[in-house]
Amino acid sequence: MPAFNPLAREFVAFCVNRCGDQWPALYDEMCWVAGHRLFHDMGYRELNRVGLSLGLNDIENTLQMVDNVTAQRRDHTQVK
């Protein structure tokens, strides 16, 4: 399992909390949040610097991170 930057993971979790984990609605939300700098004042460039690109050419890496974050969240809620 790849190690993702904690800030990038937090961003994904933030967006999941806002709209759920259904793709492509989550992708739209991630782009909207980045475009409006709603997460720690981070936009596209800042997210890219922490390893999260929202560009379509990197969509596989983004999906992998989303899958990782949402799976971990599901595991965490099932334990409770």
Q: Delimit the domains of the chain by residue range.
A: 6-69
State how far the Cα of 12 lies from the Cα of 55, in Å rounded to an integer: 15
State how far the Cα of 38 lies from the Cα of 46, in Å rounded to an integer: 12
Report pLDDT for 73: 73
CA-to-CA dists, residue 35 to 18, 48, 72, angstroms: 15, 13, 26
Q: What is the pLDDT along the chain (80 residues), one digit of tens a residue?
A: 468 899 999 999 999 999 999 999 999 999 999 999 999 999 999 999 999 999 999 999 999 999 999 988 776 666 55
First to last CA, the chain: 23
CA 34 to chain centre: 10
